[in-house]
A = this chain, B = another copy of it.
Amino acid sequence: MSLKAFEMSPKGTVIELDEILSNVKYDKDGLVAAIAQQHDTKEVLMLAYMNEKSIRETLETGQVCYWSRSRQTYWRKGESSGHRQSLVSMAFDCDGDAILLQVDQKGPACHTNRRDCFFFEVKDGQVIVESDPQ
């Protein structure tokens, strides 16, 4: 099955979390893309990956936990830097291959100490660095 089974459900339909989590379209590494958006300003901060265990931990603790593909380990955002991401809400998309996290990001989200990760912006056929690393 997949989340497609539920996609035409009307507003207000209640689905068990386990039902959703077992039908998320994880990739071959068991991962799903997760977008972090600052809940009040609506800026998109970053994109990272979660597995089922990190999704559950995030919901239980209220602190966002990803799976780091480069380090191959759980990545509790801000654990070393102090730049923590608190979870405000979590939503899955229509076909279960993406997650949108509304978060409250303390300080910079990017490892370059910029507020967000999307600082290489295309302008007039070139790319401009849009903010300074700190």
Q: A35-B44, A130-B11 are in contact. Are A94 and B110 (CB under 8 A)?
A: yes
Residues of B within 8 A of A74 (CB): none
Q: Mark A110-134, 1 if CB is under 8 A from B, else 0.
A: 1110100111111101111111110
Distance A16 CA – B92 CA, assembled complex (angstroms): 36
Interface size on A, residues (CB 8 A): 56
Q: A11-B132, A13-B129, A128-B12 are in contact. Are A47 and B121 (CB under 8 A)?
A: no
> Closest CB of chain B to A41's CB: distance in Å?
8
Q: Any chain B CB within 8 A of the CB of A8? A: yes
> Closest CB of chain B to A76's CB: distance in Å?
19
Cβ-defined contact, B14 with A91, below 8 A: no
Cβ-defined contact, A122 with B91, below 8 A: yes
Binding site for B on A (CB under 8 A): 3, 6-17, 19-20, 33, 35, 37, 41-44, 46-47, 59, 89-98, 100, 110-112, 114, 117-123, 125-133
Beyond A15-B126, A47-B93, A92-B118, list 19 extra A-B contacts (CB 8 Å): A8-B133, A10-B133, A11-B130, A13-B128, A14-B128, A16-B126, A16-B127, A17-B122, A20-B127, A33-B47, A59-B125, A91-B118, A92-B122, A93-B117, A94-B110, A94-B112, A94-B114, A94-B120, A98-B117
